[in-house]
Structure 1
Amino acid sequence: MQAIQILIGLLHIGFGSVLVTSVIGGHISISFWGGYPYWGGISFIISGTLTVLAQKPPITSCKTNGSLGANIVSAIFSAVGVILLITDFSINWGRYSYFDSTSYYYYYYYSGVASAMGISAVLFLFSGLELVVSIFSSHAGCQVVSSQTNQVAVAVAIPVPGTHGAPPMGIPQPAVNSLVYSSEVNSQQ
């Protein structure tokens, strides 16, 4: 799933660069002017990379928490992107098209609008996919962080024999100096 996040990020940046030509041609793109293809794409690449790094040993809480945070940010960014792209569709569909009742077709006034609507549709699909992937990755990350927290709490709660803490009741402790004492006794005789 991490490779999917990285590829979606690269596709967002690529399609955002192509969307520049459509904006120049008369297409109004709120998501482009807001920079969503770029900051969304960078966020998706970072979250995918951090998730890959979090799975490589040594697995530390710092890496898993970083991956979890990046996936949560990616989920928020992709949800914002879905909203921005829906806004793009609603603005451009009514503005640059008209319905011919005799032929039952929509016609576009600008040639770049149809391609821009296609690019926005692809970005919308990939944003939805990224939303699902980042939500699942965030859920898995929450479970990993929760299990790491529980393991630490269990390890601290059980006293280890031979440490400076008080031993638990009912577990006999070996005498540390018994061997030294017995060898000293044997050497004195």
Structure 2
Amino acid sequence: MPAAAPAEGQVQLRCDGTLLEVRGSAELKRTTSRLQLALTLEADGPTVDAALAALQQRLARVRDGLRSLEVQQLRVGSPTTWRRAADRDRPAQVQAQLQLSGQLAPRQLQALIRQVGALPGVRLDPVTTQADPGGDAAARRQLLRAAFADARRQAEEIAAAAGLGSLTSLEIRLEGLERPIALRAVAAAPAPFDPAEL
């Protein structure tokens, strides 16, 4: 299950007095190492105490199910309650609810849906994919190089079509990364920009 990590870079280049601004992009597929799950658990009762007691019973079953799936970093939020007004089909009730989250191995996703998602009062939220954080730095470097190379290639095509000379990088703006940074690369001579310097 691949997780896509996009990046975009906007590059300004000077070419014989002409300013070119191009946008490059890159995408990297990384293997998903874990899934971040979240679910809402609900129960109701005629009173606050009854609703919370029912919620506690359901929580015990959900917790057992998640442990059997080897869910890690399980977090259980504080319960909230509110009164639901009566309608034609049912009397007034107190509704109790809490949130749970954790991390799950991708191979356990179907079991999560079948075993835990089918329990009373459970509402599963969409899972989010997470790649191995150990490869973040290398993936970031690879994305930066690819996005810059894409922008540079576009600028060179424009410069060649316009009959312009060599290019000098003036400014680089990065988007789509955890911490966007701005870099200025101005060279007196038209030396090529080395993406490895980022």
TM-score by length of structure 1 reads 0.23
Higher RCO (CA 8 Å, separation ≥ 6 residues): 2
Whose strand proportion is higher, 1 or 2? 2
